[in-house]
Amino acid sequence: MDFNPKGLATGIGSFPQTESGVVSELILTHLPEIPLWPQLPNTDFHEQMEIQYTEGFPCIVFDDIKKRMHFKIGEDPTEELSEFYENVVTDNLGYFKISPGYSRGIYEMERKLKGIDVSAIRYFKHQVIGPLTFGLGRTDENKRAIYYNEIFRDVIIKGLIMKARWMIDKFKPFGLNQICFIDEPILSVFGSSTFVSVNRMEVVASLKEVYDAIHNEGVLAGTHCCGNTEWTILIDAGADIISFDAYEYGNTITFYHDKIKLFLEKGGVLAWGIVPSSEKINQETPESLVKKLKQLMEKLVNKGIDSNLLFNKCLLTPSCGTGSISVELSNKVFSYLKEVRDIVREQWQ
């Protein structure tokens, strides 16, 4: 699927609002070509990133008081694992649905799309937590990251694949091209002493398995990481879109300019998170952000990447999700993002 966004904009995922209807209207207004369904972590802890996708997973234990979740695997998990894999093997997407209690945003956006003319929408975007972030962020009952259990590492990969496919299937009736991001914020600490035992080859293989499943649905696959990482991991795994915090870490992409050049030439897209999703937005204007974007792109041009190619393969986003900032700041982020999009497309087309 040839994707040339040419400065179009989309979001990362989370929003601070608690009213799904209000934020869905904001998305359709400010991101009309590439809207997404919103994650609303402030509504309920079941909408938190690492919990939202857990329905249907085996051996899950919730602590509703402390608002936490872990895997309990010490007792014989055979029965729960058998049920899980039976539904994977039989391709039972409904078993892996995300119910309204875990995502008000999915169902509200579905309702909104049913009531409007969707012909102007170029792509519709989904997001699911990545297997590395999920596996290293959740533990068993002994406080050991579940990622290090090979059986449950596979459970996480297979389960997240089914979640992504369920979302894609749910929105197929609209006849829209779709994008699915596999969000991996934990990749920003890849290679650190905390995760020194995490093997690069395993990370690439895990992501590739998820990307391949998304590609088999005819959907573009991307990954967002909100810090510095080894960006070639995503290229080697087969991502179509690399989403990064260009505002804070824009220079890091230039460290891999040779592979980035090949990535773009083969059809890959860079999602430039140029609008800060923090109070730093108050220090900027849309014009200053466009200037910063141009300066960052010029560094890649100086490394031998064609400027027209960079524009054709440029997607614009906030630097990260806005779920942890105020509603006022979040609204400002998306207002600025729309203005940056308008300036970029007017000046560079």
Contact indicator for 200, 233 with CB cutoff of 8 Å: yes
Query: Which conformational region is residue 206 in: left (phi greater than 0), alpha (psi within -120 to 50 degrees), or beta?
Result: alpha
User: What's the rounded Cα separation, in Å, for the pair 312 and 33?
Assistant: 15
Instruction: Give the count of alpha carbons within 13 A of 286, CB side only.
Output: 15
User: What's the rounded Cα separation, in Å, for the pair 102 and 46?
Assistant: 5
Predicted pLDDT of residue 193: 58
Predicted pLDDT of residue 248: 95
> Does the pTM of the predicted model rise above 0.85?
yes
The helix (run of H) or strand (run of E) holding residue 104 is: helix 104-114
Handedness of CA 95, 100, 102, 108 (dihedral sign): positive
Phi and psi torsions of 263, nearest 5°: -60, -45
Nearest one of 224, 56, 64, 36 to 130, comparing CA atoms: 224
Q: Where are the domains of the chain?
A: 8-54+100-348
- What CA–CA distances, in Å, run from 249 to 24, 243, 323, 333? 29, 11, 20, 18
Residue with tokens 């994707």: 3
Contact indicator for 324, 10 with CB cutoff of 8 Å: no
User: What's the rounded Cα separation, in Å, for the pair 31 and 15?
Assistant: 14
- In b/e form, how buried is each residue of 265-297, taking b as 16+ CB within 10 angstroms? eeebbbbbbbbbbbeebeebebeebbebbeebb
Predicted pLDDT of residue 313: 98
Nearest one of 128, 129, 125, 150 to 140, comparing CA atoms: 150
Here the tokens at position 172 are: 């197929």
Instruction: Give the count of alpha carbons within 13 A of 70, CB side only.
Output: 12
DSSP letters spanning 42-95: TT-GGGSTTTTT-TT-TTEEEETTTTEEEE--SS--HHHHHHHHHHHHTT-GGG
The SS3 call for residue 270 is: strand
pLDDT tens per residue across all 349 residues of the chain:
689 999 999 999 999 999 999 999 999 999 999 999 999 999 999 999 889 999 999 999 998 888 889 999 988 999 999 999 999 999 999 999 999 999 999 999 999 999 999 999 999 999 999 999 999 999 999 999 999 999 999 999 999 999 999 999 999 999 999 999 999 999 988 766 566 678 899 999 999 999 999 999 999 999 999 888 999 999 999 999 999 999 999 999 999 999 999 999 999 999 999 999 999 999 999 999 999 999 999 999 999 999 999 999 999 999 999 999 999 999 999 999 999 999 999 988 6
CATH architecture of 8-54+100-348: Alpha-Beta Barrel (3.20)
Here the tokens at position 347 are: 């000046």
Contact indicator for 220, 178 with CB cutoff of 8 Å: yes
If 0-12 CB within 10 Å is exposed, 13-18 middle and 19+ buried, where does residue 201 land?
A: exposed
Amino acid found at 326: S
Nearest one of 210, 229, 245, 20 to 110, comparing CA atoms: 20
User: What's the rounded Cα separation, in Å, for the pair 237 and 280?
Assistant: 33
CA angle 243, 248, 251 (to 5 degrees): 75
User: What's the rounded Cα separation, in Å, for the pair 187 and 228?
Assistant: 8
Length of the chain: 349
